[in-house]
Structure 1
Amino acid sequence: MVAKKFIEVLGAEMVFDTRKGRFHALRNINLTVAQGEFVTLIGHSGCGKSTLLNLLAGLTRATAGALICAGREIDGPSPERGVVFQNHSLLPWLSCFDNVYLAVERVFGAREDRDQLRERTANALAMVGLTAAAGKRPYEISGGMKQRVGIARALSMEPKVLLMDEPFGALDALTRAHLQDELLRIVAQTGSTVVMVTHDVDEAVLLSDRIVMMTNGPAATIGEIAEVRLPRPRDRVALAHDPLYMEYRKQVLEFLYHRQAVPAKAAA
């Protein structure tokens, strides 16, 4: 792993003003992510995982603290930080191809001709197995396929940072496994830095260099960080019998369902 510091979250706080008063979502978040590192955020619902991802994407601004990427403060969205949301977020009047092409044109349009842009788009769709669906509109394809178009759109921009909010949650098990493997291959090839939200413990251990475990909200913070020292490339079948893999899995489950279960019941 490359040790160069790339993302810094320095004392970040997030407070929302709601009809019921002020809601303290995140408290004193301090995190660094190395260039080329794959980090997952995991925790119970309502622990601020997606809120933290939105701060990194520049979609919202922290109430206090600072977030830095590549030496510059994050003050808004950027194509250098590609985002894959929980829902597909596709434009319904455009085809799958055109939804991806729109992003490709925005990033590469000033220096590449139309044929090159179309080739990039086609390659991104092929990467997620949607070449045959390129001409279809979102209402003509399944929910899982829509999400795959969203993944293709983000990957097509070749971002330095890939921010993913449960991108595989809507997919069937086989497609999910395939795209996890494809994501590992792509990240190894591009050297992208990845921060990904997940609820899936096995997914976190399979993909991550580090797993950031969030405490229960409100005022959620980082409770524990597990370093996953499994060699790459990773084979999911071999890992199923790896004692170290099982140890990391146990560590995360212990945090989520023992250490965090007590305050959750108390709050209820």
Structure 2
Amino acid sequence: MQKHKAFIDVQAVEMEFKTRKASFHALRDIHLQVERGEFITLIGHSGCGKSTLLNLMAGLLQASSGVLLCEEREIHAPGPERAVVFQNHSLLPWLSCFDNVYLGVESVFGAQESRSQLRARTEQALHLVGMAHALNKKPGEISGGMKQRVGIARALAMEPKVLLMDEPFGALDALTRAHLQDALLQIVARTQSTVVMVTHDVDEAVLLSDRIVMMSNGPAATIGEILKVNLPRPRERVALAEDPGYIAARKAVIDFLYTRHARTELAA
């Protein structure tokens, strides 16, 4: 019987940063399998290696040992099949929203598609995130939430197999963050994207995730627990507020982060 192969497979990964004076052991013995179309969140206290693990999946860092695979191919560098959305939108301020997205589209599809096809891809991505009205505006002319939508549009326009998101809503106010979380739920349902997302927000993790990966504290952080979120989709935040499954999942994450994990720290 053929063994099932995960879409993303992280096997025995260690990450150690070396400096002139010393070394820092960031991640220890990380094993994680992500299925195609799954939404995974990484959560934990600051310094637990969430962003480091995401950057390893993106190919922006190389593991000290172990291996990371995407579709059974080793991840050793960034690639168009893995798009990254950072907390900072990283838009070029002198380009319009359209041109910021077009730049990414052209880099991936420029050799195989006409200019009209590239423009159509760009417009479709901006429409998908609700930014079709701001095609010609520059980043300085739109709000922080709108900038982040454009950043997400740029990632989606490249049709990545994996969307990697590093606290994409962390710097936004609560209302804007809620609107973008709802928009992301709709976009992922439409595109069937595989998503791995770093967050500090327990409610965000439960609302969005199929599984929540809870990281232990660093140094030498590892995966403490993985919680499966058994809530049907589509999800609506108001209806979930009193849902027993939502409440139980939220309690389990809080218990790991602030109760059992805090006791571990005190014992150390």
Which residue is 2:27 aligned to?
26
Which residue is 2:158 aligned to?
157
CA deviation vs aligned residue, 1:145-178 (integer Å, no higher than 9, x gap): 3222211111111211010001111223333222
The answer to whether the 8 A contact 2:145-2:180 is kept is no
Which residue is 2:244 aligned to?
243
What are the ranges of 5 or more consecutive residues in structure 2 without an aligned counterpart? none
CA distance in 1, matches of 2:47, 2:227: 21
41 and 130 in structure 1: CA distance in 2 versus 1, 3 angstrom threshold: same
The answer to whether the 8 A contact 1:42-1:197 is kept is yes
Which residue is 2:205 aligned to?
204
Greater CA drift, 7-16 or 187-196: 187-196
Greater CA drift, 121-130 or 203-212: 121-130
Which residue is 1:87 aligned to?
88
CA distance in 2, matches of 1:170, 1:86: 7
Greater CA drift, 61-70 or 230-239: 230-239
Q: In the TM superposition, what is the alpha-carbon distance from 1:264 to its structure 2 partner?
A: 4.1
CA distance in 2, matches of 1:263, 1:4: 34
Which residue is 1:169 aligned to?
170
For 2:121, the aligned partner's letter is R
TM-score norm. by structure 2 comes to 0.93
CA distance in 1, matches of 2:21, 2:261: 25
Q: In the TM superposition, what is the alpha-carbon distance from 1:19 to its structure 2 partner?
A: 4.6
Which residue is 1:97 aligned to?
98
Which residue is 1:226 aligned to?
227
CA distance in 1, matches of 2:179, 2:49: 28
CA distance in 2, matches of 1:135, 1:249: 41
The answer to whether the 8 A contact 1:144-1:170 is kept is no
CA distance in 1, matches of 2:141, 2:188: 30
The answer to whether the 8 A contact 1:41-1:195 is kept is yes
CA distance in 1, matches of 2:173, 2:127: 18
1:12-91 matches, within 5 Å, as 12-91=13-92
CA distance in 2, matches of 1:17, 1:6: 31
Greater CA drift, 115-124 or 97-106: 115-124
Greater CA drift, 108-117 or 38-47: 108-117
CA deviation vs aligned residue, 1:40-75 (integer Å, no higher than 9, x gap): 000000000000000000001000000000010001
CA distance in 1, matches of 2:191, 2:134: 25
CA distance in 1, matches of 2:20, 2:51: 21
The answer to whether the 8 A contact 2:128-2:187 is kept is no
CA deviation vs aligned residue, 1:27-49 (integer Å, no higher than 9, x gap): 00000001111110000000000
Percent identical: 74
CA distance in 2, matches of 1:146, 1:234: 25
Which residue is 1:132 aligned to?
133
Q: In the TM superposition, what is the alpha-carbon distance from 1:86 to its structure 2 partner?
A: 1.5
Which residue is 2:263 aligned to?
262
Q: In the TM superposition, what is the alpha-carbon distance from 1:119 to its structure 2 partner?
A: 2.0
Instruction: Tell me the SS of whatever aligns to 2:63.
Output: coil
CA deviation vs aligned residue, 1:117-157 (integer Å, no higher than 9, x gap): 11221222223333333223333333333222211111111
What are the ranges of 5 or more consecutive residues in structure 1 without an aligned counterpart? none
Greater CA drift, 125-134 or 13-22: 125-134
Number of aligned residues: 265
Which residue is 2:123 aligned to?
122
For 1:160, the aligned partner's letter is K
Instruction: Tell me the SS of whatever aligns to 2:92.
Output: coil
1:176-191 matches, within 5 Å, as 176-191=177-192
